Amino acid sequence: MDPYLFQIITKGDISTLRQTPLNLLYQKTAIYNSALHVAVQFERKECVEEILQRCPLLLWSTNLNGDTALHFAAREGLSSITELLLIHSSKSVHENEGLKDGVRLLLKTANKEKDTALHEAVRNCHQDVVILLTEADPDFEYFANNTGETPLFLAAEKRYCEMVSQILGTCPSSAHGGPNGMTALHAAAMNHNPGIMRIMLEKKPTLIRQADHHGWTPLHYAAYANSSGIIIQLLEFDRFLAYIPEENGMSPLHIATSKGYARVMTELIQRYPDCQELPDTRGRNFLHIAVVRKEKLLIETVLIESTMTKYIINQPDNDGNTPLHLAAIYKDYDIVKFLSEDTRVNKSTMNKEKLTPLTILETKTGPGDDLTCGSKYWEAIAALKSNGASQSWREGIFKEDLQEPPTWSRPELQEMHGKYREKITQQIQKVSESHLVVATLIATVTFAAAFALPGGYKNDGPDEGMATLLRKTSFEVFAISNTIAMVFSSLAVCIHFVMKLIDHDEKTHSLLIKAFLCTFVAISAMMLAFVTGTYAVLAHSSALAISACIIGCSFYLFSFFLLHKYYKDIKMAFNI
């Protein structure tokens, strides 16, 4: 394009543009933008009108990306220029189409990505332009682009409720598809938008059961997105949705369980209790899924406390595994223990390999090398045995029917148990030694502080030898907290001393926890003694005293943060 022409258009010099030779107006830029593209790009409405008057064919000109001037106007939200382009298109006649009205031809012109102007307006959230484009031809059905997105799907995905209402209200026949067979209703369900959901169900109710390429209905997406409000909307419209499986046989309840969404699961189970029985293609109900996903809290709060029958809790999958079998196979000893304590659970059911949960634990898993898991392993076995679980008696008679030989024999199991106990003893000794050093150090510091009091002693008079700051409240708090630190640290030292005389893992473990608590109390009291002692001697300088107190008290804040962040690790450490 001639640089002079480009400058005229960008500056909006309409008088000079009118005198420009016609042949120059048909020149294009390096990426094939026409003079009309440039005028729209720089928002020069008068230049747009002049160019359309003299060169109406530029209305259909496209650049290297396939964009028309209308694409540019829609993308930038230029409603007045969009209206002007539509007016001129309605007056034009396109030779190839033979249409007197060129509006539809311009509206359906797509770029290389198969995006129409409406795609661009929706994607960039230009409501005014969307209104102009949809009202220009209400009967036009907007098709999908290269990625399978229709304008209606984009509006629903981006949660543009007003645009969805405008498109469906003005163009009721508008296409609704999205990628991978999804519809705009799938997008509304996934994006927690009840307003769009209400409009879609009103205008396009047939979409409610339409599945994508993976068999997912809108209810599957709502369950995956943990959107209980959308689930209620969908189920009130069509209760049968709760029973429709996807390609792997997973119902919305299976999906919610796999994600650990207790609220969604509760909503589905309370409304339609019989959906609990639905199996997937592997024959697994939602309780099997919860066990495989190791959702112990979910099982406790939602599944076991619900109105489940014995059949659901003991339902076998295609391999004959009940939820308890799967808990043993996946080595989730907490769930094994929890299920074994439920009276509705059958602890001695055999799967197709003729194995009971107890047999699986004792012959196929083993405690492993991790100390914490080892402790839970023995607790799980004890819980099963105490609740009536038994070994597979057929295993010894029909060994040839078993697909795999036992991994752990009884002597090997006993040897593993001995090694496990030896590791526990070594671990407790290491922890005890480090804690003993800390407790001794605290006792030494607090003992020294008791005789090197803040403020010193009086040198003469009847109160000679008495603490100088004796009458101050902060000093009294110092004395009490220092004494508490001394007592609890000394008690911790005594406990560690007694531990050396006891040769019993469970008792030493219990004493170790008590010693830890004493040490922690001593540390907290020692810090309080430091803060109050500092305040007592700096009381005449309020700013300095308060600053020291605030900095000192930050210890408690950081301690709480550490305990909260590493609570599970600390708990596991003391469950050795």
* Cα torsion angle, 483, 488, 489, 493, sign: positive
Confidence of residue 158 (pLDDT cuts 50, 70, 90): very high
List pLDDT tens digits, range 285-303.
Answer: 999 999 999 888 888 877 6
**pLDDT cut 70: percent of the chain above it:** 85
CA distances from 418 to 79, 303, 367, 413, 502 (A): 81, 37, 11, 9, 18
Confidence of residue 401 (pLDDT cuts 50, 70, 90): very low
Predicted local distance difference test score (pLDDT) of residue 402: 42
Cα 236 to the center of its chain, rounded Å: 27
Based on the fold, state whether residues 440 and 494 are members of the same structural domain: yes
CA distances from 151 to 119, 200, 422 (A): 5, 14, 68
Based on the fold, state whether residues 440 and 485 are members of the same structural domain: yes
Give the Cα separation of 178 and 188 in Å (integer): 12
Based on the fold, state whether residues 439 and 500 are members of the same structural domain: yes
pLDDT at position 530 over 50: yes
Name the residue with tokens 């060994």.
Answer: 399
Predicted local distance difference test score (pLDDT) of residue 101: 66
Based on the fold, state whether residues 442 and 542 are members of the same structural domain: yes
Structural domain harbouring 340: 318-408
Based on the fold, state whether residues 368 and 480 are members of the same structural domain: no
Predicted local distance difference test score (pLDDT) of residue 570: 62
pLDDT at position 371 over 60: no
Residue 469 inside a domain? The answer is yes
Burial class (CB in 10 A: 0-12, 13-18, 19+), 571: exposed
Q: Which residue has the higher pLDDT, 14 or 452?
A: 14
pLDDT at position 364 over 70: no
| Mean predicted confidence (pLDDT) in 212-235 | 92
Predicted local distance difference test score (pLDDT) of residue 420: 53
List pLDDT tens digits, range 472-519.
Answer: 788 888 888 888 988 998 898 888 888 877 766 667 777 878 888 898
Residue 95: how many CB atoms within 10 A of its CB? 7
Burial class (CB in 10 A: 0-12, 13-18, 19+), 525: buried
Confidence of residue 405 (pLDDT cuts 50, 70, 90): very low
Domain boundary among 138, 162, 188: 138
Domain boundary among 138, 161, 183: 138
Based on the fold, state whether residues 566 and 442 are members of the same structural domain: yes
Residue 126 inside a domain? The answer is yes
pLDDT at position 346 over 80: yes
- The total domain count for the chain is 3
Based on the fold, state whether residues 446 and 385 are members of the same structural domain: no
Based on the fold, state whether residues 85 and 125 are members of the same structural domain: yes
| Mean predicted confidence (pLDDT) in 138-144 | 88
Based on the fold, state whether residues 461 and 362 are members of the same structural domain: no
Based on the fold, state whether residues 449 and 376 are members of the same structural domain: no
pLDDT at position 465 over 90: no
Residue 5: give its domain's CATH number. Answer: 1.25.40.20
CA distances from 266 to 71, 224, 228, 270, 303 (A): 48, 14, 9, 6, 9
| Mean predicted confidence (pLDDT) in 55-63 | 91
